[in-house]
């Protein structure tokens, strides 16, 4: 029965039942964490053979004879550019292989834009009274934190099932010279798990920004992170931008943080030769060269895109059951009450749920008091402000199945209780 259709007595009885169940869980004093999208230990173990790829100094030479133990190759070794170029569908000269974090590359890009400007900038962004970014919501909190740290004003763009609201984006970028960028996670978006449709990607490639240095920050963090036999596919934005003659407009990011080791993988950035050259020049002042040993280790271990895909199938075998458990429990525990909506993602790291209006904070609070840590409510919106207090991001990958089940029981009863409280007001 829908909770919204219950009469006063029914709702009050439902609420008492939930309180009883909730107090029972609380008394157990559990400590469970569903807050951050981290791979589980089992997933990390998959890549351990990567540490056996070097047998002697000679094995640390690249195929073109570069000694990875020494300085050099600022933008990455040739072998890594071949592998990751294949992965992203870009050429060697359109790539920079960085350090251990794509987020750091995004931060550095915004930072350089503020202080030095980007290719095509009339002046550094920091010289404007105001700089704005478009932020599809819900989105990735760390993207928003970058903007906030530089005082960049963020404008919420609603997400639809085929990507962000393109009408709104087209209008805003074409009218306002201070709109300088947009954050996109085009495949298995964080947190909704949405894939941008072909039409959405084409509309991005056709944008006509007023700012000469507007950039699409295309964070393809989950490009190989499929969970089902029917993975979503997206168009290559770079190819589309080349067709429209706007290849300077997009910067692509990815990393192996959720392929090999989190925070100890390889980060990648791709874009037009104009962009890569401008960035490399400044990067060379910041750094002599990145960790080529790690780059070669990845190449030797994965060998090819097929090798990466085989490895990701092993990840899927570990985490798909966790996603299924969460989805099954949502269905069985709250499915018929009409108090929660959620997506069934074909990949990525999250399940995003929407409570009744004004309930998300309370759910997170109830969970916390019963020992389950969730990402704070509002985190998926700029400034931590979810205007309707509805969205919660569930990260199922890290806890073992049994813990996840226990955490989800507490989560579901918390949703029921918060909803009943809200409807009783």
Query: Using CB under 6 A as the criterion, which residues of the chain lie in contact with ligand PMP when the complex forms?
Result: 37, 101-103, 140, 185, 190, 219, 221, 255, 257-258, 263, 267
Pick the closer one to ligand PMP by CB: 60 or 268: 268
Pick the closer one to ligand PMP by CB: 393 or 416: 393
Beta strands per DSSP E along 204-259: 215-219, 250-255
Pick the closer one to ligand PMP by CB: 260 or 414: 260
**Nearest-approach distance from CB 135 to ligand PMP, in angstroms:** 13
CB-count exposure of residue 361 (10 Å: 0-12, 13-18, 19+): middle
87 contacts 124 by C-beta, under 8 angstroms: no
CB-count exposure of residue 121 (10 Å: 0-12, 13-18, 19+): middle
**Nearest-approach distance from CB 386 to ligand PMP, in angstroms:** 18
Pick the closer one to ligand PMP by CB: 393 or 409: 393
Pick the closer one to ligand PMP by CB: 222 or 342: 222
69 contacts 244 by C-beta, under 8 angstroms: no
**Nearest-approach distance from CB 61 to ligand PMP, in angstroms:** 27
CA–CA distance, 157 with 171 (Å, rounded to integer): 12
| 76 Cβ neighbours under 8 A, 6+ residues apart | 95, 96, 97, 98, 290, 292, 295
Pick the closer one to ligand PMP by CB: 111 or 190: 190
**Nearest-approach distance from CB 269 to ligand PMP, in angstroms:** 11
Pick the closer one to ligand PMP by CB: 186 or 409: 186
**Residue whose entry in the numeric block shows the structure tokens 């569908």:** 89
Task: Record the tokens describing residue 126, joined without a space.
Answer: 């920091």
**Nearest-approach distance from CB 369 to ligand PMP, in angstroms:** 27
Task: Record the tokens describing residue 62, joined without a space.
Answer: 């690249």
Q: What is the DSSP string of 21-66?
A: HHHHHHHT---EEE-S----HHHHHHTGGGGGS--SGGGGB-TT--
What does each C-alpha distance from 347 to 209, 252, 328 come to in angstroms? Answer: 31, 19, 16
**Nearest-approach distance from CB 57 to ligand PMP, in angstroms:** 29
**Nearest-approach distance from CB 186 to ligand PMP, in angstroms:** 10
Pick the closer one to ligand PMP by CB: 192 or 389: 192
Pick the closer one to ligand PMP by CB: 14 or 253: 253
Task: Record the tokens describing residue 216, joined without a space.
Answer: 């699409």
Closest to 319 measured CA to CA, from 38, 102, 87 = 38
**Nearest-approach distance from CB 258 to ligand PMP, in angstroms:** 6
**Nearest-approach distance from CB 263 to ligand PMP, in angstroms:** 6
Q: Is 182 helix (H, G, I), strand (E, B) or coil?
A: strand
């Amino acid at each position: 029965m829908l909770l919204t259709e219950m009469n006063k007595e029914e709702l009050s009885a439902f609420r008492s039942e939930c309180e009883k169940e909730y107090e029972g869980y609380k008394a157990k004093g559990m400590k469970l964490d569903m807050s951050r999208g981290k791979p589980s230990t089992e997933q990390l173990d998959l890549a351990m053979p990567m540490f056996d790829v070097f047998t002697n100094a000679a094995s640390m030479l690249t195929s073109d004879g570069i000694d990875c133990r020494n300085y050099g190759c600022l933008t990455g070794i040739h072998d890594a550019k071949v592998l990751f170029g294949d992965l992203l569908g870009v050429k060697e000269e359109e790539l920079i292989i960085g350090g251990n974090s794509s987020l750091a590359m995004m931060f550095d890009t915004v930072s350089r834009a503020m202080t030095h400007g980007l290719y095509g900038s009339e002046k550094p962004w920091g010289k404007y009274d105001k700089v704005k970014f478009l932020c599809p919501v819900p989105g990735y909190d760390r993207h928003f934190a970058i903007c906030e740290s530089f005082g960049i004003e963020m404008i919420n763009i609603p997400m639809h099932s085929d990507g962000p609201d393109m009408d709104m984006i087209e209008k805003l970028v074409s009218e306002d010279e201070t709109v300088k960028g947009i954050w996109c996670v085009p495949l298995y978006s964080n947190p909704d798990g949405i894939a941008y449709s072909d039409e959405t990607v084409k509309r991005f490639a056709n944008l006509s920004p007023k700012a000469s240095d507007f950039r699409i920050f295309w964070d393809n963090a989950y490009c190989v992170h499929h969970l089902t036999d029917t993975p979503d596919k997206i168009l290559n934005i770079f190819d589309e931008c080349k067709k429209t003659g706007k290849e300077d407009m997009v910067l692509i990011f990815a990393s192996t943080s959720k392929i090999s080791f989190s925070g100890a993988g390889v980060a990648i950035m791709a874009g037009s030769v104009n962009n890569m050259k401008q960035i490399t020049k400044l990067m060379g002042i910041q750094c002599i060269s990145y960790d080529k040993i790690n780059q070669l280790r990845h190449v030797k271990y994965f060998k090819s895109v097929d090798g990466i895909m085989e490895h990701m199938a092993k990840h899927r075998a570990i985490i798909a059951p966790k996603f299924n458990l969460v989805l099954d429990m949502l269905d069985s525990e709250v499915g018929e009450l009409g108090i929660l909506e959620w997506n069934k993602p074909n990949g990525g790291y999250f399940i995003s749920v929407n409570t009744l209006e004004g309930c998300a904070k309370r759910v997170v609070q109830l969970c916390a008091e019963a020992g389950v840590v969730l990402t704070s409510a509002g985190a998926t919106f700029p400034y931590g402000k979810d205007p309707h207090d509805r969205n919660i991001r569930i990260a199922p990958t890290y806890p073992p199945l049994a813990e996840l089940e226990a955490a989800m029981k507490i989560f579901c009863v918390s949703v029921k209780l918060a909803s009943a409280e809200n409807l009783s007001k």
